[in-house]
Amino acid sequence: MDRETRLRRLAFRAWHRGTREADFMIGGFFDRYGNGWSDDELTWFEALIEEQDVDIMAWAIGTLPVPAAYEGPQMDAMRQLDFIDIPR
């Protein structure tokens, strides 16, 4: 699949998680960083979004340890939570 299609597919999946909180956290993270990711980083995100939302959110806020497969610069960026725009 070409990069543009892959990005659109990931954006949809990132923003349609099932809860508003997960949508904001995972979708906001993808919107902020996804376009600049390499193919390997996109593959990391594709694997991540196969996980349960509660786990992803717990890893991002530090209430659960991050599995080795997801540890690294992308998870570090997700942990900063500086990508979430709170609607007013």
pLDDT computed for residue 88 by the predictor: 63
Which pLDDT does position 81 carry in this prediction?
A: 78
Q: What is the rounded CA–CA span in Å between residue 31 and residue 8? A: 11
Domains of the chain by residue range:
3-80
User: 85: alpha, beta or left, given left = phi > 0 and alpha = psi -120 to 50?
Assistant: beta
36-88 pLDDT, tens digit per residue, is 999 999 999 999 999 999 999 999 999 999 999 999 999 999 999 787 666 66
Class of domain 3-80: mainly alpha
The burial of 14, by beta-carbon neighbours within 10 Å (0-12 exposed, 13-18 middle, 19 or more buried), is given as buried
Give the pLDDT of residue 85: 67
The whole model's pTM is what?
Answer: 0.90
How many other CB atoms are there within 10 angstroms of residue 82's CB atom?
A: 9
Q: How confident is residue 11, by pLDDT bands cut at 50, 70 and 90?
A: very high
